[in-house]
Amino acid sequence: MTATLAPVDTDDLTRPRTGHRRVPVVFTVIAVAGVASVAVALPWLVNAYLVSLASTALVMAVLAMSAQLPAGLTGQPPLGQAAYLTVGAYTAASLATLTSLGPIQLAAAAAAGAIAAAITGLLAVRARGTTFLMITFAVGELLHAAANAWAPGGSDGTHTPAVVPLPGLPPMVLDGWAYLYVLVCTLLIAAAVAVLVRTRFALLLRGIASHEPRMRASGHHTDRLLLAAYTIAGGIAGAAGALTITVTRYISPADAAMGISALALAAALIGAGSMTGACTGAVLLVAARDWAGGFLGGHGPTLLGLCFLLVAYLPRHRMTGLASLLTGRRR
Amino acid sequence: MGLTGYAIIALNGVAYGLLLFTVAAGLTLIFGVAGVFSMAHGTLYLAGAYTAWLLVDGGWIGFGLALAVGAVVGTVGGTALAAVVQPLAGRPLDQVLATLGIAYIAGDQFSAVFGAEPRSVDPPGALAGSITVAGHAYPIYRLSFIALAAVVAGVLFWLVERSRAGAVVRAVVADPQMAAATGIRTGTVRTAVLAGGGGLAVVGGVLGAPVIGPAPGVDTTILVYSLIICVVGGLGSIRGALLTALGVGQTLTLGVALAPAAASFVLAAMMLAALAVRQRDEFAHLRGPA
């Protein structure tokens, strides 16, 4: 039923993995070690601007994973994930008056994002496909409006103190330390997501994507499963919100704007069902919008629009090929 | 505030609602007929509003010129959108991304050309003043707008619900394959609806510019309200769109005046209620082939 929305998922499910050209394990290990060492060494390699850009890219990668959970696994594309990011960010910002401890802010933000997603998800999970997308979009925009009306600082936003990574350590006022903290948090979240996508729960979600009537016939409450997936996705987005204020020490309703949600969804689509691909997509899109856009006289949105058009017109399976080339395997 | 004060606000709500209807009616038809959730629909309104800002000079000639240019821009824009989404038929998500990309590029270019600050558009001199309604001054333009939009709504309602062309359009909404089997050229109907819907949105922008003036971000606002109207009113339903648009108009004016905090949530609650009442399979044909 959702074949048109998640063509690659069904492809992934049916294609035998043994038929795929194998990349020698040693190359994969070298590639991963190379990327990891560059990622860790980044603050010592590039200037402060690029470090903060890399932090933004990591936050967007987390948000892209949050969008990929419903989009890639259940075949239901969300277009309002920025709203839960903002809920998480404002929760962390409010908590910052009590404690500057990052992990506590992160946990509270994830919980708040999950609660917000669970409540608003009741609206969304009755719908499927494009209607699901429309409703998540509208809910996201309503939360955006609510943030403008009631959030601390109003539409001007609010500043937050620097986050302390662990008890006893100094606050992270330097971009480099904030980047490394965000990198560690992103890797932990990614590890949790990697475990999640290998559970029976994820298999049930993939089942909904490929043939929902059969899942219902076999006694599964598909709406509840979708709501659970959407809630977890909201929690991940909330965590991304806490990471946002770690990086920028500032949050405003503008962070709930459609552009952020759209970027997360486009990254998920570039990833074509894969979490690694979604993260790669997020990094590429942030680079296009903020870095390459800077060379074009600040026309980042135009460049992002062109990227969206490119994603829409490129055959999706080619991008899966790209993703598998980059990661050395199909996920 | 006295009772008449609220009545004046309610009248504003009617103007606002009819303006939203003019724009959303196009989107509901586009979605219902072509199955395209056009994220660029608000952009078309903004194009109309900027057209009005450029051409409306306080006289009738400028106003008429703006309307004519708006109609052309909208029809051409709608047809272009149809051409853009044509290769993506059966891939609704890619259609969303493509139209979103266009909305982004257009929004950025509007800001580059017209600047980031909001622009105000004055109606033609003859409609610029205000008259006294129940002891309150009320802009003549809004009253004329209400009258004009009511005519547009009436014509649209007749066209879709009563005319032969409307029957064809409704047939394509209800069952595209059966409609095609009876000899209806569904592709032509789709393009025509996208062109017509685009024309309505841009003309709505020209007429609505003195009410909701052109500014960056207006495209998203209009898109969100149109979307809520589509979801709550039922896709492809002109009657539903009209009733919902009037409701949304009142929520955004009277609701904001009476209970500012609750207004946003009334809109969410309207959506929830509409979705709860309706069977999910109403949208089944929009999900693409099984």
**If contacts are CB pairs under 8 Å, which of residues 113-132 in chain A contact chain B?**
120, 122-123, 126-131
Position A131, amino acid: T
Measure the CA–CA gap between A115 and A111, rounded to whole angstroms: 6
B80 touches chain A (CB under 8 A): no
**Crossing angle of helices B41-55 and B3-29, rounded to 10°:** 120
Q: Count CA atoms closer than 13 A to A192's CA, side-chain side.
A: 14
Residue A173, classed as helix, strand or coil, is coil
Task: Tell me how far apart the alpha carbons of residues B128 and B132 are, in angstroms, rounded to a whole number.
Answer: 14
Instruction: Say yes or no to pLDDT of B111 above 50.
Output: yes
CB B134 within 8 A of CB B122: no
pLDDT score recorded for residue B258: 80
Report chain A residues whose CB lies below 8 A from the CB of B107: 301
Tens digit of each residue's pLDDT (9 = 90 or more) over B8-22: 888 888 988 999 999
B277 has a chain A CB within 8 A of its CB: no
B-chain residues within 8 Å CB-CB of A147?
A: none
Query: Per-residue pLDDT tens for A126-183?
Result: 878 777 888 888 888 878 877 877 778 777 788 888 787 888 787 777 777 888 899 9
Is B275–A304 a contact, with Cβ atoms under 8 angstroms apart?
no
C-alpha to C-alpha distance for A85 and A237, rounded to whole angstroms:
5
Residue B230 at interface with chain A, using a CB cutoff of 8 Å: yes
Q: Smallest Cα–Cα separation from A140: which of A192, A202, A63, A58?
A: A63
- C-beta separation of A110 from A91 below 8 A: no
Local confidence band at A64 (pLDDT 50, 70, 90 cut-offs) = very high
Kindly provide the b/e burial profile for residues B50-88, where b requires at least 16 CB atoms within 10 angstroms of the residue's own CB: bbbbbbbeeeeeebebbbebbbebbbebbbebbebbeeb
Q: How far apart are CA A85 and CA A66, in angstroms?
A: 10
Q: Is A135 in contact with B88 (Cβ distance < 8 A)?
A: no
Q: Which residues of B touch A79 (CB under 8 A)?
A: 96
Q: Which ipTM did the prediction report?
A: 0.83
**How many CB pairs lie under 8 A apart between chains A and B?**
140
Q: Which pLDDT score, from 0 to 100, does residue B289 have?
A: 36
In angstroms, rounded to a whole number, what is the distance separating the alpha carbons of residues A274 and A69? 9
Q: How far is B100 from chain A (nearest CA, A)?
A: 7
For the stretch B254-277, pLDDT in tens is 887 887 767 777 777 777 677 666
The backbone region for A315, taken as left when phi is positive above 0, alpha when psi lies in -120 to 50, beta otherwise, is beta
**Closest to B93 (Cβ–Cβ): which among A5, A127, A145?**
A5
Q: Is the CB of B264 less than 8 angstroms away from the CB of A142?
A: yes
Q: Distance (Å, rounded) from C-alpha A10 to C-alpha A34? A: 32
Say which of B90, B97, B112 has its CB closest to residue A308.
B97
Are the beta carbons of A126 and B280 closer than 8 angstroms?
yes
